[in-house]
Structures are given as C-alpha cells and as structure tokens.
Chain A
Amino acid sequence: MPFDTEGGILKSKKLLKMKKISVLYIQFFVLVLVSTLINACQKTAETTELEAYLPTNLDETGGSWKPFLVTSGTDITVASPTATTSAEYQAELAAVKTAANGATAEQKAAIKYWSAGAVIRWNEIARDLAAQYNIPPKNNPDGTYPAPDANNPLAYPRFPFANPPYASRAFALLSVAQYDALIATWKYKMQYKRSAPYKVDATLTPSVPKSELPSYPSEDAVVAAASRELLKLLFPGEAPLLESKATEHKNSRIWAGANVQSDIDAGEALGKAVAAKVIAYAKADNMSKANAQADVPKLRDDATKRGITTQWTSRDLPARPPMLPFFGNVKTWNFDSATKVAIRPTAPPAVGSADFNKALDELRAIAKNRSREQFRIASFWADGPGTYTPPGHWNRFATELIYKYKYSEIRAARTLALMNTAVEDAGVVCWDVKYYYLLPRPTEADPSVTTSTGIPNFPAFTSGHSTFSAAGATVLSYIFPNESAALNAYAKEASESRIYGCIHYRFDCEIGLTHGKKVGDYAVNRGKADGSGL
C-alpha cells in the first residue's frame, strides 16, 4: 500500500475510521436520494373535488320549455314504464340492491365523480377534449401544412384541430343535444311519475342525495347518451373513451341505488334519439365548407374589389393557411344570416390612417414596456393552443355558477345551451367580419410590436376573445344576475388582454365587445321567450 511507508498501522486505522464515516455519509445520501426519487415520481397536479348536491329547484315544468331543434318535449316517444309493483320491476330493484350493497371502491369513486352533475361532468369532458385537440398541425418538409381528416381521425394531424371556432360549435351542439333531450326527459318524468328505487323500497339507501324527481327516464342516462353521441361526432378518434365514460356514468346510477335498469335504458334510447336530430343539424350547418382553402383567393379578390388592398397574411413560418376562412358562413342559432349582415360592424381604420397609427402607437408602447400585470392578464386569458379556448373558458365559468347555485340538470343544460349557442354565433359573426375586412395583425404592420402570446392565424379585426366573451357574459348575466358585475368585468379583461398581449388593436377589442353583446342579446331574448319563466 503506498501510504504504509509513514507510520503505516496508525494511518490505516485512521483511514478505516474515515472510510466508515464516508460509507455512512454515502448511505445517508443514497437514502435521501432514494426517498427524493420516490416523492418526485409521485408529483401530481391538483384537481378540484366536486360534491353531489340536491338542486334548489326541481323545475317540474321543464317538459314544456321550448327546445332548440326538437319540435317539442313530445317529439320523441318514450314508452310507458312497468309499474313498480310488477315482478319485472321488482327483479330490477333486487339487482340494484345487490349492486349498491356490493359496490367496490372503484365503483364508489365513479359514483362520487358522476354525482357532481351529469351536465357538469360532460361539459368538463368536452373541455378536456377541446384542450387536447387544440394544437395546430406541424408543417410538411415542403412548407405545406397537412389537414386533419375526419375519416381518419387518429392519423397525424389528428382530427379535429379544436381551434376556437371549432370548440364554440362543439360546445353549442353538445349543450343543445343535452338540453333538448332533457326537456323530453322532464316531460316523461312528470307524465309517468315513476318513483326512484329508494322511494319504492325504503330499505335501499342510495349513495347519492335522494332526489324527489321521478326516475324514469334517467336524466343521467339521457345526458350520457346524448353527450357520447355528439362528442363521438366531434372527436371521432375518442369513441372508445366516450363509450367507456358513458357506460360508467350509466352504471354509476345503478351502483348508487338511484336508478333501475329500465330507467337507464329509456334514458339511453331518448338521449340517442335526440342526439340523432342534433347530428343531422350539424351535418348541414355549413361547417363542412368552413375550411375551403381553395376559395380563399376569391375571398381576397372580393375584398380587393371593396377597396381592401392591404390584406392580412399569416405570421407563422412557413405561412399557414388561414384558420377556417368560411366559418362566417356557418348557420347561426339565434338569428338569421340577414341579421348577421345587418349587425356587421363598419370597416376598421384603414392601415396607415391616423386612427390606425394611434392604435398601433398604443401597442408599440406596451411592447416596449409591458408590465408584469399586463403580462399576467394576457396570459390568463390567452386560451391558446393546448387549452379549451375562450369558449371553453366561458363554459368553465358557466359550470362553476351552475354548481354554485345548485341548478337542476335541465336548468344547467338550458344555461349552457343559451350561452353556447350565443358563443358559437359570436364566433360565426366574428369570423365573418375577420375575413370581410382582412385587417393585418399589429406585428405585421410593425414587427417591433412583439407579443406576449401567440399570434392567432387569422385577421385581427374584430377580436374573437372580445366577441366570444361579451356574448358569454351577456347570457350568463341574464341567468345569474347577481354575478353580472363580475362576468362583465371578466369579458372586459379578456378583451383588453389581447391589447396587452399586443395581438389586437384597441378598436378590434372594443368593437368586438359591442358586437358580442348584440349576439348575446339574441340568446337572452330566446331564453325569455322559451316558456321557462326564467
């Protein structure tokens, strides 16, 4: 040993001691590292827990409210249920008792999850899908961009690209299907008045709050079936997931002791029948032509003929085809196409005009010295790729209020149907304006205007966020008047966030808000006249 030359024995002992110490330290260190690793691997994100609630109002008259697409609550037939005294029903009841008593931990988790509300949960699922599918395709090596294909939804780029207009329509179709189906559900519930299994058999204690609503057909099964069918149309690659969610949702009602199988089956049939009508509407609403890129040169020529010579171009590299240039032709819900033209804002300040330069100067100043608070607001409302888009953000507000005010399923669906039809209408009129005036984005007018959020791939005027948000806030303010001040403040901040991000001129936002408010008013008027008395 090289160190034996100098008092070897003593030194080796010291070294041995040192070795022991260092081994101890290393052991300790490894222990810390291992425990760190274990903790680290469990690092998860937070989720909000929702509790089941009994609605403050059962809305017994809901069966007479005016649907959107179905003619009336009696448009779909639901067969009369078996009597609760029948042998058939008693057998179903016995099966429910067995299932409820034997519910596994996993089944109990499913009961708890779905008991927060059928409309609320399916809206969450739609928000999740919208976010996951909201990502623009990557360009091909030759600089072109691939387009998603509805017939091959899982091939790259997946179908759909759930951009804001797509999402606005998805939420509207989903909500209309849920609402129209629930109107029929309420009609038949009140007509047949079949009691819930826990009312028929007092020995059955359900694991969800005991509702006074008749249980046939099951509103949960109706919402599950209608939502599954619509979301399968809108996110066709997710069919297996949606089937399994709907099945779990329906089963959770049996496991909870809240419905018998025939409640569920009648709900399934009803939900599916209404969904078919909404799907037929969706197939004919002009969405299939919204991305007709071949027609863009004509669209630009037409604008040139109207004197619009400085036209928007894509800021993406390589230049990306404009997002849904003909979404402005998609059928509106709450007014006709003549109204769309009648309420179209007049032209924005021309590029290079004094008013235009004044608006651009405001953005130059922000870009140069954007405050932390301006950045925060721009980021909070950005709702860009990988998010549920501005329509999704308003759906979240709506479901939070539905939960806060303990709305019944039918009133929840009415809220979302009115809001989401307004929000889709807002998208349609806004896209019509965008491709009518083709105003370049601020950064195109002056590259020194750097942004704190991505520049959306469509013209600036008017702001989609502003139009969506004003429409959403207007409808929700009508439904939740106590929340009106907050909701209108949200819309204003969402609108201004686009100025702080430097992707919109102030006039894009202000005119967008006014435009969106008008769109929202049409939905409010519809709500006031729908027989709900709300």
Chain B
Amino acid sequence: MKQLLTFTAIIFLGMIPISSVSAQTPTDHLMMPKGTLCNFLGYSTSRWDNYWEGANKRINENIGTFKTENILFMAALGVTDKLNVMVGLPYVKTSSSASYLAGQQGIQDFSVWLKYNLIEKKGDFGTIKAFVTVGGSLPATNYNTDFLPFSIGLKAKTASGRLILSYANKGFYATVQGGATLRSNVEIDRNSFIFNNKLYESNIMPVPNAADGSLTLGFANTRFQTAVSLDRFGCLSGDDIRYNDMPILTNKMEQTSVNWFGRVNLGHLSVIVNAGKVLNGRNVGEATSLGGSVLYWVQIFNKAKKADK
C-alpha cells in the first residue's frame, strides 16, 4: 500500500537558517499517490547555549540561551504516482535570553521541489527505491539578513538537488541520501565586510554552497512510523567566525546531528513529533530541537482509480 508523503522535518535550527532546512524536507523514501494533496503544519523550537566559533566550542554571556522557533507550512501533491511537487514556507522567530539585540521574526524563504521516483523494485527481498529531488528557494520577504545569529535566514536564492536511495522490508526501512545546494551571493545592508581575513568594500557577500547527507533507519506500518537519522550538513567553502566576533553569512557552517521522529496516522490525519540534537559542528550552535506537527491529506483528483485499489 502506498504511503502518504512523510515530512520527516529534519530541521537544522540554531544558526543554520531554515533555507538550508527547506531543501532537506523532501527527504523521505515515499511518494504521494496521484491526485493526493497533503498539507502540513509544524512547529519546532531549538535552543543552544554553546556554539562553535570556528572549531572552538564556547558560551557567550552576552547571548545567554539562544532560541529559534519556526512554524512551517508545506503542501505536497501527487501529480502522478511517480512525480510529486512540493512547496514550503516557514515563519521564523529568534530571540536570546541575555542580549539587548532585537530578536527577529518573519516569513522566510519560499521553496518548491519536484520529486521523481526513478526506480521502484519490489520482490521477496523487499523494496528498493531511488528518488531524485530538485528544488529551489527564494526569500519570500525582505527580511534582515546580515544580523546573525538573529537573522531569520540567509536570504540567498538556492537551487538544490539530491538523490535518495531506500530499502524497505517488512515495515523496516533504511534510507541514504545526499544533496548539494547552490546558494547565491547576498546583497547586505552595509558595504564592507571582512572575509577570509581581508576587507572587502562591497555590499555583496559570498554565501558558501553546501552539501548534506543522511542515513535513516525506521519502521512504518499503516498506523505508525518512527525513524532515527544521522545527518551531516557542511558548507563547501567559507571562513570561520572571527575570534570573539559575530557570525556572518560567509562562515563555513558545518554540523552533525541526530534526529528522531514518530508519527501516528489517524485516517486522513497524522500527528508527528520530532526531536534532534547537534552532536558537533563548526560556526553553528549546539542546538537541541523539539517539534510537533500535523498533516492532513485529501484526494483531489484521480478519485475513481484510487477507489479501485
């Protein structure tokens, strides 16, 4: 039986804004059947006290506990059984317990992805699937970006591609996937900045491109699903946060995290909870995250065929 699209909500929080996250979301091994529309609304929050300044972990009394909250709306449609289209739009809010700097909030980047099921092979050995996802994102609002860690996003336009391979047998499954994200340079409000220990008198900041990968192990049946994943995100270039300075968009952000989610299906409705922790990183916060979300699916076309099944 075909499963609904699952939003694993693997979200990089803290100093890695959601733009990198959005490209992460269509990462599972399942497809929406033709004619099915799935709406997703999720809330998640993350906190960190420690962060990595370059490779050095530190605390900063002037920040205290840094908190990011986001509300993510997504929708996915089965155009065909093999092709899904997805859109996402997050609202993000940042704050810190000790800083006098103004927390930021607002609608971040609009994302769209196409997901195609390249290969599906079922047999006694189980099911093998391969998917390719391509997508992109654009800032949905003119938010303040050169204000990390408080900025709600990097404001870069992105294009991403990923390959997902999965194996499932008797409800158990394993997914491995890797992706790359090209990120545009970003126009900032000031017209000079230090990058790689050199002063640039320009208002165009180079935002490094990024790659990510993850390994997921899970179990799913018609009522219930749970999975754990080990996730790695890394910029492909960039510099470190200068000693005792603020992070900026040029920084080479990297992190390894573990994430878990559980899901219960109640007819057309699913309830999901997720949690994650950053294990190590570079130029990011040591974030712990928690989230909850609901998704609701409806058959909007291809109803007859669906009924036949």
Binding site for B on A (CB under 8 A): 2-3, 5-6, 11, 15, 18, 21-22, 25-26, 29, 32-33, 36-37, 39-48, 127-128, 131-132, 135-138, 156, 315-318, 367, 370, 372, 375-376, 379-380, 382, 385-388, 396, 443, 447, 450-455, 502
Contact = CB atoms under 8 A, between A and B. Distances in A.
Nearest to B103: A450
16 contacts: A15-B121, A36-B211, A40-B236, A44-B206, A45-B206, A127-B201, A132-B197, A132-B199, A135-B244, A136-B244, A316-B62, A367-B102, A385-B245, A386-B194, A387-B194, A455-B100
Contacts of A138: 243-244
Interface string B172-187: 0000001010100100
Contact of B100 (A48, A375, A450): A450
Contact of A6 (B123, B193, B199, B211): B123
A45 B101 contact: no
Contact of A387 (B102, B188, B192): B192
Interface of B: 61-62, 98, 100-103, 118-119, 121, 123-125, 130, 132, 142-144, 146-147, 161, 163, 178, 180, 182, 185, 188-195, 197-202, 204-206, 208-209, 211, 236-238, 242-246, 250
A388 B245 contact: no
A295 B106 CA distance: 47
A315 B100 contact: yes
A416 B206 CA distance: 31
A39 B159 CA distance: 14
Given A25-B130, A40-B236, A372-B142, A46 B200 contact: yes
A493 to B, nearest CB: 12
A454 B99 CA distance: 10
Given A47-B200, A317-B61, A447-B100, A40 B244 contact: no
Contact of B180 (A11, A32, A43): A32
Contacts of A137: 244
A452 B102 contact: yes
B193 A386 contact: yes
Nearest to A143: B61
A89 B198 CA distance: 40
A379 B121 contact: no
Given A22-B119, A25-B132, A39-B209, A317 B202 contact: no
A132 B130 contact: no
B144 A375 contact: yes
B130 to A, nearest CB: 6
Given A22-B118, A33-B211, A451-B102, A43 B201 contact: no
Contact of B202 (A39, A46, A316, A375): A46
Nearest to A385: B245
A375 B141 CA distance: 14
